[in-house]
Structure 1
Amino acid sequence: MSGYFVTEGIGRPLTILPDVLNRDLSRIINSNLQLKSSHDLEHLSSIAQQRDEWTKLTARIREAAEASQSEH
């Protein structure tokens, strides 16, 4: 699983799913969620397995993204 977090290379940086997810999670105000390690990925996976919690989390991410877009 740690291979997801390897972004070394030549040229333009790769856009990888953990980077996108971490950026989305960082938009949520007052959230301790991040995606920097395999442990964080396992934690996010456990949230995803709980439908109500996952729905709440994705709604918070969507609201934060919409708020940041309206600021620009």
Structure 2
Amino acid sequence: AFVDTPLLQTVEQEDNMGKFFKFKDDFKRSMDKFGILQPELIAEGMMRLITDCSLNGAVMKITCSKGIHFHTYEPMSA
């Protein structure tokens, strides 16, 4: 997903996109497909990672369809 920030609004501006401007329609299709997250949701996820010790080593995923969720992996043996 994408995050709703001022940078996201520059997709239509060739001066900001430079050589990637030709992909603006692809970016827009991806935004429609995967959605746009609010920055507050990202901050909430980061705070959970920082404050919840049980999430040490977990991978945080944030999607429009599932919200904030975590995946943990078994430690690799030495």
Give the TM-score, by structure 2 length: 0.27
The answer to which structure has the higher strand fraction is 2
The answer to which structure has the higher helix fraction is 1
